[in-house]
Amino acid sequence: MRILIITLLLLLNIDVYSQELRATVQVNVESLKTQAKEKLRNFAQEVETYLNTNSFSDYDYSEYPIECNFNIFFTSASGEKSYGAQVVVTSTRPLEEIEGSTMMMRVQDSPWSFQYESGQSWIFNQADFDPLTSFLDFYAYLIIGLDLDSFFERGGTPMFEKAYDIANWGAASYREWKLEANSYNKMYLVKNLLDAAFEQFRIDFYNYHWNGLDLYESDRERGVNNMAMLVKNLAKVKDKLDPRNILLRVFFDAKNRELANYMKEYKDRNEIYQLLITVDAGHITKYDEIVE
């Protein structure tokens, strides 16, 4: 049903502006002094309101907003309104034929430095960079883009392009946005998503979800085979990909448990196990469950 609504709007070229996200924001201020904690009393609710009331795209998500979570751990406070934090961002997508959902993304981003005053105006401005709201915009575009990529081949490209613009603006002035070889980097992630070298992966990402997870209930063998195809295609090109790529790390951090579960039904479990530990050595322990 969800894909039908989006597809009809695309075919009819109807402009619909609705809130795409159903974000839940949690804040941890335990490391801060009492005065700073007091100033942040309304921060979680204000971030939630910003994410849940702005429209980040032309797609109609009014009936099925994307479930996502922002867990914000404050690490520092200085002066009257300067703060530092690390954030864990997750998003999920419901499955089409059965009750349940699949994890789309789970990333830990640090550091996040910004200025904030309780009760300030939260302005959604796509023309200027702001360390507070542009960070949230970046993840909103990323979440929506990944969701669209799971329903249409490379359907999330417009969203990833917007996220890339934000990353470029941030990198011009803030080190935490620059293209550096960290364990996680926002710029690397969107560059990977827009890189032609990952075009096949994005096509496989679509098939993994729409022709794999969503098909599983009605045709289990075909669904599992389509999910396995992503792993097989990755194994063919892994040595040609930039070893610094962030995209595959983000994908497998979100999907390793799911893959371990579904690949137990693959026709050749030993084969898919060997391929998985080749393309994602970081989750070998989880994949061991496939052949136990």
Tens-place pLDDT, residues 155-192: 999 999 999 999 999 999 898 898 775 678 899 999 99
Residues 242, 100 share a domain: no
3-state secondary structure of 49: helix
DSSP letter for each residue of 160-215: HHHHHHHHHHHHTT-GGGS----SS-HHHHHHHHH-GGGHHHHHHHHHHIIIIITT
Higher pLDDT, 63 or 266: 266
Provide φ and ψ at 191, rounded to 5°.
-65, -40
Domain of 146, in residue numbers: 2-194
173 and 238 together in one domain: no
99 and 42 in one domain?
A: yes
Indicate whether 132 pLDDT > 70: yes
Q: Are 286 and 261 in contact (CB under 8 A)?
A: no
Alpha-carbon gap, residue 98 to 271, rounded angstroms:
28
Are 18 and 6 within 8 A, CB to CB?
Answer: no
pLDDT at 92 over 90: yes
186 and 207, same domain (yes or no): no
Say whether both 239 and 182 belong to one domain.
Answer: no
Same domain, 43 and 124: yes
The answer on 7 and 130 residing in a single domain is yes
Residues 189 and 231 in one domain: no
In this structure, the answer to whether residues 22 and 126 fall within a common structural domain is yes
Q: Roughly how many angstroms between the first and final C-alpha of the chain, as a whole number?
A: 38
End-of-domain residue from the set 143, 161, 194: 194
Average pLDDT of the segment spanning 226-248: 93
Q: What pLDDT score does 181 carry?
A: 56
pLDDT at 12: 47
- Tens digits of per-residue pLDDT, 249-264? 999 999 999 999 999 9
Domain closes at, from 169, 194, 219: 194
* 53 and 171 co-located in one domain: yes
What DSSP character marks residue 96?
A: S
Q: Is the pLDDT at 108 greater than 60, yes or no? A: yes
Give the model's confidence band at 17: pLDDT under 50 very low, under 70 low, under 90 confident, else very high. Answer: low
| Residues 26 and 94 placed together within one structural domain of the fold | yes
Q: Note whether 167 and 219 are same-domain residues.
A: no
- Tell me which of 150, 167, 194 is where a domain ends: 194
Q: State the pLDDT confidence band at 8, using cuts at 50, 70 and 90.
A: very low
In the chain, the number of structural domains is 2
For residue 158, whether the previous peptide bond is cis, meaning omega lies within 30 degrees of 0, is no
